[in-house]
Each structure stands twice: as structure tokens, then as C-alpha cells.
Amino acid sequence: MKYFKSLSALLLLSILFSGCKKDISQQVLYDNVIYEVNPVSVYANNAEKVKQKSSEQFISVLYSNLTNKSIPGDDLNNLAELALSFGDKELMNRVLLENMLGEPDIKIPTNEEMRSNIEAFVNETYLRFFLRNPTPYEKYFFKDLINKDASLTSEMVYVAFAQSNEYLFY
């Protein structure tokens, strides 16, 4: 009888504990989707961009976007001080952009490359500057614009992207 009581208690405890067992699951949320061609994070849309870039971030990203390499630390510090030395940050960003474009190691697709495959150029430009794919309407707009205007250059497209509001945010 004593043995039976012990067995019953053990069974009861077993049922109780098995009833309290908690399923543990881990949910992993990714901020961005991974673009499969280039190893860059891609936003699903521009609404995800809610933070302003600091001057250092703007300069660093701009340099990377235009040269495909990281900016040397000293240059970043010096350019950040330059940016600090003038109160109108947008104006200084534009001045810095114009000067980076004048440097010899800038990697911008040529006009011929742009026009040989406009859709790819538009896609790549959106990915390069905005870290997202263009919407169908955006893609149509730029394809149409480039097709219709033979004088439009890839450099001008890059400048427009680098001066846009969206480029100031991440």
C-alpha cells in the first residue's frame, strides 16, 4: 500500500510538471532582406528609413558608394571636421559630393554602360544609394527619362541620388 501511494504521488508530480512544460521558441527578425547578387542588406521599402545619417555616416557611405571602397580613417576625420566647419549641412554635403566626383578613383558606370542596359543601371543605382529595389513606377520613370534624354549622364543620375532626402536617412 505504501509502495502504491508513493507511485501515485510520483505519477501526480509527473503529470503536474509535464503540464507546466513550456515550449520555447526563438523568433528571428531580420531588418533587411539579403540581396543575393551582392552581399548587401536591402530595405523592403523606404519607409523603414527613420534615422538621419550623421555627417560622418554620410561622408563614409558616400565615399563607399562612389569608390567601392572604405574611406581611410584620416580622410574621414578631416572631412568630418570640414563638414563641422559650416552650418548648412546640406550645402556642405553637396560641396563634398562635387569634390569627391572630381577625384580620379571614382567608380561610376560610363554613359555607354548605363545605356547598354538601362534597367540594370537603375536597379543597381537604387541598390547602391538607397539599399532597396526600385518600385515599378520608379523603374519606369528613370528608364523613360534616360531613354528620352540622350544628354543625361550617369554622373548626373548619381548626383541626384546622393542629394536626395532619402539618402540622408537610414
Residues near another protein (CB under 8 A) are: 46-47, 49-50, 52, 75, 78-79, 81-82, 84-91, 94-96, 98-103, 135, 138, 141-142, 145, 149, 151-153, 155-157, 159-161, 163-166, 168-169
Residue 20 CB, shortest distance to another protein, in Å, is: 48
Residue 136 CB, shortest distance to another protein, in Å, is: 12
Complex with another protein: residue 35 or 161, whichever CB lies closer = 161
For the range 145-154, what are the long-range contacts, defined as Cβ-Cβ under 8 Å and sequence gap of 24 or more?
146/114, 146/115, 146/118, 146/121, 146/122, 147/118, 153/111, 153/114, 154/108, 154/109, 154/110, 154/111, 154/113, 154/114, 154/121
Residue 78 CB, shortest distance to another protein, in Å, is: 5
